[in-house]
Amino acid sequence: MQAVGLITEYNPLHNGHLYHLQQAKKLTGADCSVVVMSGNWLQRGEPAILDKWARTQLALEAGADLIVELPVFYATQPAHLFARGGVEILTALGCESLVFGTEHPDLNFEELMTALPKTQAAFKHYNATYATQFNTALQQSTGVSLTQANDMLSFCYYLANQHFGNQLNLLPIKRQVAVHNDAAIRPASDFASGTAIRAAAINAAWAEIQPVVPPQTLAMLQTQRLQTWADFWPYLKYQLMTAAVTQTHQIDQMAEGLEYRMKEVAQAATSFEDLMRRAKSKRYTYTRLQRVATAALLQLTAAEVQTAQAHNYVRVLGFNATGQAYLHQVKKQLTLPLYTKINKALRLHGLALDYRAGRVYEMVNGQSQDLYRRPIMSSGNIG
């Protein structure tokens, strides 16, 4: 069996994702689609609107064959680390290709990689200014600037693939209609951004959502608890107000004196959005601040995140018969540890950060996220 890989968040799964899944198999002729999906905390520093088990079920019903979790220590990172974690897992699982959506699939990403500085010391510690720094170098060198989020992420897939020996055939496809951060669902369209769909779901605008998502997603949004930052705000405020600055300084991605600013603005902030507005500056982007807030809420220190990134793993969330057969085919050759459930030993050691992240999510979601949860086995799909 041959497999094609996808790196996703499905927050929530919509028609654009369904198109992506269908095109991935069509373009590659693969027998199995392997989806690496973020868990309950996402790349832009926010909680998933539906938990990872609900989103796994939707992915299986949409036609994905095997879903594995992108660990929290990669899922909540800037683009180059997010990409590296996903590409490492797909490479370990023996996938032949990676299909991903981008705003400009005609860009020659491999050629653009030659525009990187000869020494990448300035980019070694990837932070919120990386994209600006890199785009400056790229503009000067090639006249091209990667200003769209998925163009930059696509470029990072090429960098990650190079890092792991170029074992994946990379296939960019055009994103369908909606811009990544469109705030509203466009009338008479079959496609909408995840941002617009989440906003509509929070407002229970089901008639707007219905044309742009599979029926299963609509049903899930209508019947499951929907999580937002507002739910976790009291816990975050408590962390920021009570922790010593010396402790907060150790939080992942907290640097350059940001710990002082976050503690100060938390005193007066009345909501998560208010906290972001008060902390925002030319130096700190909203995305950077949201990732820092996520790390602070989950108490993820820079030291433990960096240690965990050197010990990636394959955590299976779900599969159908095809995915199960493929997993059986490759598991003896896996170069990363394979986990199908978290027991008491793993929650304290190998999977400690994901277990911690799941427990915090459970405080709002109310559903067990990790301990003794087994992968979902499904045989259904959408059309």
The secondary element (H helix, E strand) that includes residue 171 is strand 169-174
Residue 185 annotated in ligand binding: no
Distance of CA 335 to the CA centre of its chain: 22
Residue 214 annotated in ligand binding: no
Residue 181 annotated in ligand binding: no
State how far the Cα of 266 lies from the Cα of 260, in Å rounded to an integer.
Answer: 10
- As a whole number of Å, the CA-based R_g of the chain is 20
Residue 101 annotated in ligand binding: yes
State how far the Cα of 380 lies from the Cα of 270, in Å rounded to an integer.
Answer: 45
Residues 6+ apart with CB under 8 A from 130: 78, 80, 123
Residue 166 annotated in ligand binding: no
Residues 6+ apart with CB under 8 A from 157: 7, 83, 86, 87, 98, 100, 109, 170
Residue 142 annotated in ligand binding: no
Check residue 324 and report its DSSP letter.
H
Q: Please, are residues 116 and 23 in contact by the beta-carbon 8 Å criterion? A: no
Residue 307 annotated in ligand binding: no
Which token pair is 224? 């499951």
Residue 251 annotated in ligand binding: no
Residues 6+ apart with CB under 8 A from 14: 191, 192, 194, 197, 212, 213, 214, 217
Query: Which of 334, 324, 373 has its CA nearest to residue 351?
Result: 373
CA distances from 41 to 3, 75, 84, 277 (A): 26, 7, 17, 21
State how far the Cα of 37 lies from the Cα of 11, in Å rounded to an integer.
Answer: 10
Residue 381 annotated in ligand binding: no
Residue 175 annotated in ligand binding: yes
Residue 74 annotated in ligand binding: no
Continuous H helices in 93-228? 109-112, 130-142, 149-163, 194-202, 206-209, 215-223
Judge residue 356's burial from the number of C-beta atoms within 10 Å of its C-beta, 0-12 exposed, 13-18 middle, 19 or more buried.
Answer: middle
Residue 8 annotated in ligand binding: yes
Residue 257 annotated in ligand binding: no
Residue 311 annotated in ligand binding: no
* Cα 105-72-43 angle, rounded to 5 deg: 35
Query: Which of 77, 318, 237 has its CA nearest to residue 86?
Result: 77
State how far the Cα of 71 lies from the Cα of 257, in Å rounded to an integer.
Answer: 27
Residue 19 annotated in ligand binding: yes
Which residues contribute to the annotated binding site?
7-20, 101, 150, 175
Which residues contribute to the annotated binding site for ATP?
7-20, 101, 150, 175
